[in-house]
Copies of this chain bind each other. A is one copy, B any other.
Amino acid sequence: MATLGFVEYADASAEVRSIYDDIMSTRRTDWINNFWKALARDPVTLRRTWESVKQIMAPGALDPLMKEMIYLAVSATNQCAYCIASHTAGARGAGMTSEMFAELMAVTGMANETNRLASGYQVEIDGRFKT
């Protein structure tokens, strides 16, 4: 079926294979996870998404571990089961300990709580926060 299904490396076009190769070499791994194999049904989206992720997740002012943890905080907020599973693995691979995971979840949970207290109480933005 065209709409659903994964593109395995053995079945991929040369263009898709070159992206798969770049994913594996950039991440120093020997396999491609399902997310990319699903996007590969549309090589344009596969390329754009990978190029963006590669640029954004590279070391910079924030290190890769911190970036993976931010990714996980957003994914937990959005209830994206696939993304939670893949970025939990990614963050652990980048060095997240159990203690860091626990604190990450605590902050994520609390932010989701106070986001609703702020909206529900109709709190106006303080003048000092606008400058």
Seen from chain A, the residues whose Cβ lies within 8 Å of a Cβ on chain B are: 1-4, 31, 33-35, 38-39, 41-42, 44-45, 48-49, 52-53, 55-57, 60-62, 66-67, 69-89, 92, 96-126, 128-131
Contact = CB atoms under 8 A, between A and B. Distances in A.
Which among A1, A89, A98, A121 has the highest number of chain B CB atoms within 10 Å?
A: A121
A4 B89 CA distance: 11
B103 A62 contact: yes
Contacts of A130: 85
B33 A1 contact: no
Copy tally for this chain in the complex stands at 6
Interface of A is mostly: helix
25 contacts: A34-B125, A35-B117, A35-B121, A42-B98, A42-B105, A45-B105, A49-B117, A53-B114, A57-B110, A61-B103, A62-B69, A69-B70, A70-B104, A70-B108, A71-B110, A78-B112, A79-B119, A80-B115, A80-B119, A81-B122, A82-B124, A85-B122, A86-B129, A89-B129, A110-B113
Contact of A83 (B41, B73, B83, B115): B115
A102 B34 contact: no
B88 A122 contact: yes
Given A77-B116, A84-B119, 9 more contacts: A3-B96, A35-B117, A41-B102, A45-B102, A66-B69, A77-B77, A82-B125, A85-B122, A86-B126
